[in-house]
Homo-oligomer: A and B are copies of this chain.
Amino acid sequence: MKISDLETPTLLLDRSRLSANLTNMSERATGLGVALRPHMKTTKSADIARLATAGQNGGITVSTLKEAAYFVANGFTDITYAVGVSVGKLDRVAALRQDGARVTVLTDNAEVARGIAAHAEATGARFDVLIEIDTGDHRAGVAPDSLALMEIAEILDHAAGVELRGVLTHAGHSYDCRTVAEIQTVAEAEQAGAVLAAERLRAAGMACPVVSVGSTPTVVYARDLNGVTEVRAGVYMFNDVFQASIAACALTDIAVSVLATVTGHHPERGEILIDAGGLALSKDRSTAVGPHDVGYGLAVGLDGAELPELHVVRVSQEHGVVATAPGAGALPFAALPPGSRLRVLPNHVCMTAAAYDCYHVVEGEEVVATWPRVNGW
């Protein structure tokens, strides 16, 4: 099958770019002396997880229990569920353990920790738990030097049926950086905070075998991960225009695009319409705050044709409006007749890919495979 045989909008995955991204990150982790526990929240694909864990210890990270169950069904047995758990989800975690998988959960809350302990005691289930550390992102986590860290740790450490495995942090504020130097500063704070938290647990006599950090930008630019045992990153597998805008990748490293068809011309406004809108691209506007705002995506030619820079400047549910970037000149209507096709590189690929149930894996013009992905909760 060729790309030209595909209906639009649909999701393309460039296999050679994916492979290069995976190899680079795996080598990067090895060079830093840490394990790579790839975060599958971006790709949600067992086919990709198998490639991403090649040469690593096979552990992965997930963002939902539906992902966890899917990966367990696909043979993965060492999974970190890296979003704060609620007690109401523990039965599902316990069921996955009965299926033979170790699904490690996360919390930053003493009441949840007590709930995990109580659940283990009441049901006989066993839980592996990490404590989430806030190293500057201020989304979730306790401060590395906080009393709360020790309170949660003691609850978990004293609970029968619970294994406190260590600490985990996510420097999501690396996404706010605009220079490599800024990302390196965040990476240092991420490493230092996680290691400090681990040292406090160990000083109190608790084991802390896992010191887990990660975001794609900080792993790409970290200079020293001394004391860290593993890195989690996910978006590096595909990359996107936002990651390129903060220099975490090059535009040519972006492996995923939305294939779209031109449906109309509006020369009076310098616009063409495509059949990829807010649902096909997502409403994510990550690039809005950066130096290179591409609207809802960066549109490129299907076959490498030289086009001026094209942005998806507006979307509604099933319509995308494409215009040239400011200063990029006139829109080449003749090169993009109705029925012709474009690829749109996503702002934020984790959001965009979630609208699709599969990837069309391509090499040049050939569709060489179709890989399913798991969505929902």
Contacts and interface: CB of A to CB of B under 8 A. Distances in A.
A170 B63 CA distance: 39
Question: Could you tell me the dominant secondary structure of chain A's interface residues?
Answer: loop
Interface of A: 7-10, 41, 63-64, 83-89, 92, 107-109, 111-112, 115, 138-140, 172, 261-266, 269, 273, 275, 278-280, 282-285, 314, 316-319, 321, 337-339, 348, 350-351, 354-357, 375-377
A350 B279 CA distance: 9
Contacts of A348: 283
Nearest to A262: B86
A273 B140 contact: yes
Contacts of A9: 377
A276 B250 CA distance: 31
A264 B140 contact: yes
A109 B262 CA distance: 11
A86 B337 CA distance: 11
A235 to B, nearest CB: 10
B317 A275 contact: no
Contact of A283 (B284, B321, B376): B284
Given A283-B285, A285-B283, A264 B108 contact: yes
A240 to B, nearest CB: 13
B83 A275 contact: yes
B356 A89 contact: no
A319 B141 CA distance: 12
A64 B318 contact: yes
